[in-house]
Amino acid sequence: TDFTLSDIAVTGGTVSNFAVVTADRIWSARITPSGNGMTVTINVPVNAAQDQAGRGSAGATASANYIVTLSAPVGFTASPGNERVALSWSAPDNSANG
């Protein structure tokens, strides 16, 4: 009980969309990195929540590197028209294997 958004400390990003999934048991939140190449660290301190018997929760810390490498569009073409230009392209394959 008493676990709130303010109990979650995030460096290298922000926390939002805090929600209770299962009362007094499971919560969810969205962690958004501040930018590409950032290390995001999430910390929930000891005793951030208590069970119904009043026992405090264990603390936890997790971190991850946020890196996205994007490629330029492929097959980019510009076709002149009547007072306009039609642009077309295909999205690149940004998968881990592509």
Domain count, the chain: 1
Residue at 96 is within a domain: no
Q: Which of 22, 30, 12, 11 is nearest to 49 (CA)?
A: 22
Domain extent at residue 19: 5-66
Across 4-8, 21-25, 27-31, least confident range = 21-25
Residue at 78 is within a domain: no
Q: Say yes or no to pLDDT of 96 above 60.
A: no
Mean pLDDT, rounded, for 24-33:
89
Residue at 29 is within a domain: yes
Other Cβ atoms less than 10 A from the Cβ of 29: the count is 13
Residues 6+ apart with CB under 8 A from 39: 12, 63, 64, 65, 66
Give pLDDT, residue 98: 42
Residue at 24 is within a domain: yes
Residue at 97 is within a domain: no
- What residue has token string 């690149």? 92
pTM higher than 0.75 for the full model? Answer: no
Residue type at 3 in one-letter notation: F
Residue at 23 is within a domain: yes
